[in-house]
Amino acid sequence: MTTTDAPQAAPPPSGKRRIGDVVFAGLARSSGILILLILAGVAAFLIVQAWPSLSANTQNFLTTREWDANVREEPAFGVAALAFGTVLAALIALVMATPVAIGIALFIVYYAPRRLASLLGYLVDLLAAIPSVVYGLWGIGFLAPQLVPVFEGISRYLGWIPLFAGPPSPSGRTILTASIALAVMILPIITAMSRDVFHQVPQGHREAALAMGATRWEMIRLAVLPFGKSGIVGGAMLGMGRALGETMAVAMILSPSLMISWNVLQSGNQTIAGHIALQYPEATGYGVSALIAAGLVLFAITLFVNMAARYVVARGNKEA
Amino acid sequence: MAKRIDVSGLNVYYGDFKAVEDVSMTIEPRSVTAFIGSSGCGKSTYLRALNRMHEVTPGARAEGKVLLDDLDIYGPDVDPVMVRGEIGMVFQKANPFPTMSIYDNVIAGARLNNSRMSKSEADDLVEESLRGANLWEEVKERLNKPGAGLSGGQQQRLCIARATAVKPSVLLMDEPCSALDPISTLAIEDLIHNMKEDYTIVIVTHNMQQAARVSDRTAFFNLSAPGKPGKLIEMGETNQMFTRPDQKETENYITGRFG
Amino acid sequence: MSTTTTQPPEPETRAQLSRGSLPRYFSPVLLAASAAVVAGVLLAFSSFGVILWALLTAVAYLVISVTASVRVEGARKAKDRFITAIVYGCFLLAMAPLVSVLWTVVQNGMSRFDSYFLSVSMNGVLPSMDAGGVYHAIVGTLAITGMATLISVPIGVLTAVYLVEYAEGRLKKVITFFVDVMTGIPSIVAGLFVVALWMVLLGPGHLNGASGALALAVLMIPVVVRSSEEMLRLVPLELREASYALGVPKWRTITKVVLPTSASGLTTGIVLAIARVIGETAPLVLTAGSSAVSINWNLFDGQMMNLPVFIYSQVRMGGAVNYERAWAAALTLILVVMLLFFLARMIGRFFAPKTR
């Protein structure tokens, strides 16, 4: 390989070489451990810096809606409204994105012409390459105005559903608009995970279904979807993790606000990530520490969702 | 129920590669026909072309005529989905659906055609099919357990029950025993023997003794040369094929294996 | 089975092996016809809109084809057709935002996207003045992403080497799991982490490029680990064994055989990781600042503008000229990302080892 000498019996490892091995292995190992330290450091430093504002807070951090933290004494703030907005936006995005992502994955793996499949998959991946700040700009400049008449239609005909009770926002910049942008952004993740499991469905199961006279869809229903369930669920949860933490598109589309509202056609909701981005430049007093506390909550939620997703995926792989 | 298959001039291609060349044969109803031949001689490919399963492989195509009684299964209006309902298939590796119970596995295919089947109809069909596959007594107490929990031989009989529940007239078996131990193999061979009253059965096997034991007629496939397409060398009564084959090639293959 | 107690399903039709089928050209012709008729009707009522047109065409196609299929081909085939249409529709639906984003960015960005815009900063430009450009932001993006890459690549690649070549047992599982978890850290949390870190170590108020690079590195490391791991696993075991058989020690085998063999794959992965973080905005707003207007090459001194934050801060100002700048900057950013993607594909194509 690396030597031009004729192959001989392996020379006894000299001390020098052993040192090389020890050093290199140690270096590689420390890099791995460094990653664990960074992750632990993220948690630790957030906790340390969140603590001053949390201990000075005069309100219950988890149940309070208001955000009165930019003061030197007696701050009063909580994440109730923000956590609500974060989860609501992510859930709406998930509900919209998951079925479409499953459809795309089925299309690429089982429907599209084989020669085009990888190119078409690449196009879907491009959705993930567009920076979120560009999605935000697109959300304000194109999507929101386009959605205003749609929202009016929805509230006219579906207004009896509390989610769609109007009157709709005249700017179109509501949590539903933000959720649509989020849905587009998480499509590639869910699609990629679903594609992976669809590719892993054993040929034997697919052929068994076809050999008993199943149509393509019946083959998918009998052999593919039951097999791919855990991968789809895991992918959806990873997508949710991304949607929960996504900042820029939300911060740009929604205006600062602290309401808890189920009415997705009106502005008023805000997410944790969006709130941090919007408030940080003006934060004074306990402000920064309070925002770090909010970030800590976001970190905890996403950590939980991601770990659960990885667990689901790993368990599915073991069963297969 | 059993039907005759008449094949004339069948060629099968994978892309540009011709895997099977110009095969013509008649497969008699209510009998067992065995396909023998060395690995890669195209006999499995040919078998899959008999119910259009080869179309599942990208790039594979067949030309020629395959008549089921009098209908060409490659006819212009023919739906491959319906062909496969009429000509069932059992694979080398038992492949029950892992997420389904034994009961659901058996009923899966029949449900496709008749989604409004009543509970009692379904129960009857499951029992009938499992009895037909000599599996009923072994699993009747645990029909709701997953099919993947059965032994290899039981799984293969479950797959046979699943294939027969669709009520096909022909059953194609692609080396159904090659992954099984001798006792399970014997159980399947008994089953094949019983089933030929109702079905036309075609079995691909590598096991010469098995072909001799279960089949009425035997077809021998071989490559004309390495890298060339597989061909049907000769076909005849099993007894005659194993004792006095017409072709030298057949004799070499059979005696070579028997030592 | 001779004592048949249940009827074979659909005996009379199945015996014919066909249940009537719609001609092959049915789908494309119907789709074209639906599109044309819907367009005609919409134009007649002068209410043509692309979204409405696409939606109504899809509905018309679905209803007609499923009805026809139920009549001619039966319910099972009709369902198969319905699902096929839905599955194709899902893909087209996903392409709509891609095309829309690219189209709006190009359309709105072109007016201001020129060599002047790319070559001047915002130094001395008042927010409403019809002047200024993104040169300082491009400089910042290059500097910050470059430094983030310098931090992430050694750590990421070495970790991947550790996971593939050395690690076993518990530590391997733990690191693999937490690398996965780390890919899910919200970008704004990475920014807050650096803010908190500096507050503990140095006290408040350290907005500079290096802080931004550190935040980006936190996001980039797990991506590099993941892709490098995949590439290293592609190196055939025989190659390593051949090297060991010559008496080459393990670390030389890795540095002289394994890493060079996978070099193109590693580079592709790294370029894609850069493409991923180069558009990150939130962590940079918190760490590199959002109000720099002049060219700053010094990562360690003062705020540093960059393309994503430039877009964001222009939008926050809200004037018409600000939006124009934002769109033009978005076009610049997208071009940079596309360039990186293209580069990654080229590296993957031309420098891949020939022996695979």
The tens digit of pLDDT for each residue in B88-117 reads 999 999 889 988 999 999 999 888 877 788
Q: Which of B93, C65, B196 lies closest to A205 in space, CA to CA?
A: B93
The reply to whether B240 touches chain A by the CB within 8 Å rule is no
C78 and C141, same domain (yes or no): no
C283 — pLDDT class (breaks 50, 70, 90): very high
Q: Which of B162, B159, B98, B157 lies closest to B133 in space, CA to CA?
A: B157
Contacts of A58 (CB under 8 A, 6+ apart): A74, A75, A76
- How far is B37 from B222, CA to CA, in rounded Å? 6
Check pLDDT > 80 for residue C96.
yes
pLDDT tens sequence across B201-218? 999 998 888 999 999 999
C52 and C147, same domain (yes or no): no
The reply to whether A113 touches chain B by the CB within 8 Å rule is no
Instruction: Compute, in degrees rounded to 10, the torsion defined by CA atoms A153, A156, A161, A166.
Output: 90
Please tell me the predicted confidence (pLDDT) of residue C298: 87
Q: Do B100 and A210 touch (CB under 8 A)?
A: no
Burial class (CB in 10 A: 0-12, 13-18, 19+), B75: middle
pLDDT tens sequence across A137-193? 999 999 999 888 888 888 888 888 888 887 888 888 999 999 999 999 999 999 999
Beta-ladder partners of B36 = B220
C140 and C105, same domain (yes or no): no
Check pLDDT > 60 for residue C126.
yes
Question: Which secondary structure element, helix H or strand E, spans residue B33, and what is its range?
Answer: strand B32-36
Q: When comparing pLDDT for C106 and A6, which is higher?
A: C106
**Does some domain include residue B230?**
yes
ipTM score of complex: 0.88
- Identify the chains in contact with B, defined as 3+ C-beta pairs within 8 A: A, C
List the single residue in C with minimal CA-CA distance to A34: C155
Please report, for residues C73, C222, C254, the alpha-carbon distance to residue C158 in angstroms, rounded to integers and kept in the order given.
Answer: 60, 12, 11
Q: Which CATH class is domain A76-319?
A: mainly alpha
Burial class (CB in 10 A: 0-12, 13-18, 19+), A8: exposed
C95 and C148, same domain (yes or no): no
CATH number at residue C142: 1.10.3720.10
Give the residue ranges of DSSP H helices in chain B: 43-49, 80-86, 102-113, 119-132, 136-139, 152-165, 182-195, 208-214, 238-243, 248-258
Measured between beta carbons, the chain C residues lying within 8 angstroms of A111 are 84, 87-88
Considering only CB atoms, C9 lies closest to which of B75, B113, B132, namely B113
Question: What single-letter amino acid sits at A144?
Answer: A
Q: Where are the domains of chain A?
A: 15-56, 76-319
SS3 assignment, position A280 = helix
Residue range C210-219: mean pLDDT, rounded: 95
pLDDT tens sequence across A94-106? 999 999 999 999 9
A56-65, C128-137, C229-238: which has the minimum mean pLDDT? C128-137
Question: What single-letter amino acid sits at B236?
Answer: G
Please tell me the predicted confidence (pLDDT) of residue C14: 65
Please tell me the predicted confidence (pLDDT) of residue C3: 40
- How far is A188 from C276, CA to CA, in rounded Å? 13
Shortest Cα–Cα distance, C44 to chain A (Å): 21
Please tell me the predicted confidence (pLDDT) of residue A78: 92
User: What tokens were used for B202?
Assistant: 């075609």
Residue C174's domain comprises 135-350
The one-digit pLDDT tens for each residue of chain B (259 residues) are 688 999 999 999 998 889 999 999 999 999 999 999 888 888 899 999 999 999 888 888 999 999 998 889 998 888 888 899 899 999 999 889 988 999 999 999 888 877 788 899 999 999 999 988 889 999 999 999 988 889 888 999 999 999 999 889 999 999 999 888 888 899 899 999 988 888 999 999 988 889 999 999 999 999 878 888 889 999 999 999 988 888 888 888 888 754 3
**Does some domain include residue C186?**
yes
- How far is B46 from C190, CA to CA, in rounded Å? 60
Beta-ladder partners of B174 = B204
Shortest Cα–Cα distance, B125 to chain C (Å): 7
Task: Supply the Cα-derived Rg of chain C in whole angstroms.
Answer: 29
B78-87, C16-25, C155-164, C320-329: which has the minimum mean pLDDT? C16-25
Measured between beta carbons, the chain B residues lying within 8 angstroms of A218 are 112
B156-165, C154-163, C188-197, C243-252: which has the minimum mean pLDDT? C243-252
Q: Which residue has the tokens 């509390």?
A: A162
Considering only CB atoms, C14 lies closest to which of B86, B164, B198, namely B86
A320 — pLDDT class (breaks 50, 70, 90): low
Please report, for residues A129, B2, B154, B164, B193, the alpha-carbon distance to residue B133 in angstroms, rounded to integers and kept in the order given.
Answer: 55, 17, 9, 9, 11
Question: Which secondary structure element, helix H or strand E, spans residue B22, and what is its range?
Answer: strand B17-27
C230 and C279, same domain (yes or no): yes
- How far is A89 from A110, CA to CA, in rounded Å? 31
C354 — pLDDT class (breaks 50, 70, 90): low
C261 and C329, same domain (yes or no): yes
DSSP state of C153: H
Beta-ladder partners of B173 = B90, B203
Please tell me the predicted confidence (pLDDT) of residue C302: 87
Considering only CB atoms, B82 lies closest to which of A206, A213, A223, namely A213
**Does some domain include residue B63?**
yes
Please tell me the predicted confidence (pLDDT) of residue B259: 35
Shortest Cα–Cα distance, A93 to chain B (Å): 29
Q: When comparing pLDDT for C82 and C206, which is higher?
A: C82
Residue of A111, A212, A230, A319 to mutate when probing chain B, most B C-beta within 10 A = A212
Please tell me the predicted confidence (pLDDT) of residue C293: 84
Whether a cis peptide bond, with omega within 30° of 0, leads into A167 is yes
Residue B224's domain comprises 5-93+169-258
- Identify the chains in contact with C, defined as 3+ C-beta pairs within 8 A: A, B
**Helices vs strands, H then E, count in chain B:** 10, 10
Please tell me the predicted confidence (pLDDT) of residue A319: 59
- How far is C84 from A112, CA to CA, in rounded Å? 10
CATH number at residue B185: 3.40.50.300
C93 and C140, same domain (yes or no): no
Question: Which secondary structure element, helix H or strand E, spans residue A176, and what is its range?
Answer: helix A175-200
Q: How many domains does chain C have?
A: 2
The size of chain C, in residues, is 356
Q: How many domains does chain B have?
A: 1
Q: Do B109 and A214 touch (CB under 8 A)?
A: yes
Check pLDDT > 50 for residue C6.
no
Most confident of the following: B197-201, C9-13, C115-119, C215-219: C215-219
User: What tokens were used for C188?
Assistant: 């704004």
Burial class (CB in 10 A: 0-12, 13-18, 19+), C204: exposed
Considering only CB atoms, A212 lies closest to which of B58, B98, B109, namely B109
**Does some domain include residue B89?**
yes
The reply to whether C286 touches chain A by the CB within 8 Å rule is yes
Q: In the A/C pair of chains, how many CB contacts fall below 8 A?
A: 291
- How far is C156 from C223, CA to CA, in rounded Å? 8
Measured between beta carbons, the chain A residues lying within 8 angstroms of C107 are none
**Does some domain include residue B32?**
yes
C240 and C279, same domain (yes or no): yes
C100 and C161, same domain (yes or no): no
Please tell me the predicted confidence (pLDDT) of residue C7: 42
Considering only CB atoms, B84 lies closest to which of A204, A212, A229, namely A212
- How far is B151 from A34, CA to CA, in rounded Å? 48
Please tell me the predicted confidence (pLDDT) of residue A9: 39
C146 and C289, same domain (yes or no): yes
